[in-house]
Homo-oligomer: A and B are copies of this chain.
Amino acid sequence: MTTPGQQPERTGSRSLDPHLRRYAARAGGMTASEVRALFAVASRPEVVSLAGGMPNLAALPLESLSEQVGRIIAEEGLTALQYGSAHGVPLLREQICEVMALEGISGHPDDLVVTVGSQMALDLVTRIFCDPGDIVLAEGPSYVGALGTFASYQAEVRHVVMDADGLVPEALRAALDAAKQAGRRVKFLYTIPNFNNPAGVTMAVARRAEVLDICAAHDVLVVEDNPYGLLGFDGQVYPALRSMDRDNVIYLGSFSKTFASGLRVGWALAPHAVREKLVLAAESAALCAPTLNQMVVSRYLATHDWKGQIKSFQTMYRERRDALISGLEQHMPAGCSWTNPDGGFFVWMTVPEGVDTKAMQPRAVTARVAYVPGTGFYADGFGSRQMRLSFCYPPPERISEGVRRLAGVLAQEIDLLNTFGPTTSRSLTGPQTPSPDTA
């Protein structure tokens, strides 16, 4: 850690960071994610970014939203600008239950806590369940922000393999058995069953009951993270794990992808006793989620055709997915393979043996295209042959151009490899977990 502009130190330490010896043990696990380090370069206008996970908000009805939000402040400003309860705005909690009903969930507004995005919900769940050294099972690959949260609570992640139908039940059973034999405590399975970030695959409906049964039999909670569930490109909606098991599943939801990420409104639906703990944890973390933001979402759900809005999001993202997939089919050199998502934001690509996606990244950015190398989505060093390609943000013609550029970089890389052999050593610090399309 560097300290540009640091003043002369009062305490006389000679360390570059004079506070280094003061940090808690958990601070050691806090390192900048590869996704984050990339954002600065990837956001330059000449670069086609297939790296970010930002939703495309262009389709939002800004003018009518502007009027509604103005009215909230003019008419209910003394409530909207005041502290609220850590539990969340009651009307919004009722409305969220209606949203979840689309996925077959029958939940009570009282068993739900509104959070600052579902990221905070995940943080609070990890806070109340994970002691240092506890194991969390997660799909391999998994959401980079979740891996960061687990690390910040010193939980250890064990990845469970996926295939084109999502999490593989036998692999889950094996991971649980292995932990048991090693005398280690597994606190929960963290899963993104629908349109997985970053893998783009969906847990087959036929597998869901089996996954729940395995976890229940091993006395392990399931944390179901579902930000993309309503973004199926054919309007298809898969039944939530929570809809099949109300007592052993904590469901995390978000308006970041179906409405507006910058409002930071998410939630957790949890078994009642757990929800009570979550509210206490939320109080100590931030007192309450912003009242104004909760009222904006509530008003939006009450006055806008939010289901129609989600349909237009589906159409927009489907077009972008199509542009990405047809670009890949057209341009990618032999030996590359990828997932073909039917919803969400992401495609997961595997490149030929010998290509290191992290080492290649600077050359890709030079060629004005950005992606996220696969290693960021694993806690165990796997993923050097993988990358995440996002199709959520750039328009279709830019996506096509980006894929063309990326294919050029890859072809050159493979060419070099064939001529000189691999130049970078692959740094694997753990077992090689197969990625979805190689399992």
Closest to A213 in B: B10
Please give the distance in Å from A354's CB to the nearest CB on chain B.
Answer: 33
The residues of B that contact A276 with a CB separation of less than 8 Å are 1
Q: Mark A77-97, 1 if CB is under 8 A from B, else 0.
A: 111111110000000000000
Q: Are A260 and B81 in contact (CB under 8 A)?
A: yes
Q: Are B70 and A108 in contact (CB under 8 A)?
A: no
Q: Are A280 and B32 in contact (CB under 8 A)?
A: yes
Bound-state Cα–Cα, A24 to B1, Å: 31
Contact count band on A: 35 or more
The residues of B that contact A78 with a CB separation of less than 8 Å are 57-58, 62
Please give the distance in Å from A188's CB to the nearest CB on chain B.
Answer: 8
Q: Are B67 and A120 in contact (CB under 8 A)?
A: no
Q: Are B128 and A277 in contact (CB under 8 A)?
A: no
The residues of B that contact A274 with a CB separation of less than 8 Å are 17, 19
The residues of B that contact A9 with a CB separation of less than 8 Å are 247
Q: Are B116 and A23 in contact (CB under 8 A)?
A: no
Bound-state Cα–Cα, A131 to B21, Å: 12
Bound-state Cα–Cα, A260 to B213, Å: 47
Q: Are B286 and A263 in contact (CB under 8 A)?
A: no
Q: Among residues 24 to 71 in chain A, which have CB atoms less than 8 Å away from a CB atom of chain B?
A: 24-27, 30-33, 36, 54-55, 57-58, 60, 62-63, 65-67, 69-71
Chain B CB within 10 Å, residue with most, of A8, A19, A281: A19
Please give the distance in Å from A254's CB to the nearest CB on chain B.
Answer: 10
Please give the distance in Å from A169's CB to the nearest CB on chain B.
Answer: 18
Please give the distance in Å from A15's CB to the nearest CB on chain B.
Answer: 9
Please give the distance in Å from A23's CB to the nearest CB on chain B.
Answer: 6
Q: Among residues 325 to 360 in chain A, which have CB atoms less than 8 Å away from a CB atom of chain B?
A: none
Instruction: Tell me which of A145-153, A172-180, A230-238, A364-372 binds B.
Output: A145-153
Q: Mark A255-274, 1 if CB is under 8 A from B, else 0.
A: 01000111110000001111
Q: Among residues 270 to 323 in chain A, which have CB atoms less than 8 Å away from a CB atom of chain B?
A: 271-274, 276-277, 280-281, 283-293, 296
The residues of B that contact A65 with a CB separation of less than 8 Å are 73, 77
The residues of B that contact A290 with a CB separation of less than 8 Å are 116, 262-264, 290, 293
The residues of B that contact A272 with a CB separation of less than 8 Å are 3-6
Q: Are A23 and B277 in contact (CB under 8 A)?
A: yes
Q: Mark A239-263, 1 if CB is under 8 A from B, else 0.
A: 0000001111000000010001111
The residues of B that contact A296 with a CB separation of less than 8 Å are 292
A11 at the interface (CB under 8 A from B): yes
Given A19-B273, A54-B83, A77-B57, do A263 and B292 touch, yes or no (CB 8 Å)?
A: yes
The residues of B that contact A63 with a CB separation of less than 8 Å are 74
Q: Mark A130-154, 1 if CB is under 8 A from B, else 0.
A: 1100100000000001001101110
A219 at the interface (CB under 8 A from B): yes
Q: Are B261 and A83 in contact (CB under 8 A)?
A: yes
CB pairs A–B below 8 angstroms (25 shown): A4-B272, A10-B245, A11-B247, A11-B248, A22-B129, A24-B127, A24-B130, A24-B131, A26-B127, A27-B281, A62-B73, A65-B73, A69-B69, A80-B262, A83-B256, A116-B289, A116-B290, A117-B286, A117-B287, A119-B285, A127-B152, A151-B284, A152-B281, A262-B290, A264-B290
Other than the known A32-B280, A119-B284, A152-B281, what 10 A-B pairs have Cβ atoms closer than 8 Å? A6-B271, A10-B248, A22-B129, A25-B131, A36-B283, A62-B73, A117-B287, A145-B287, A149-B284, A292-B296
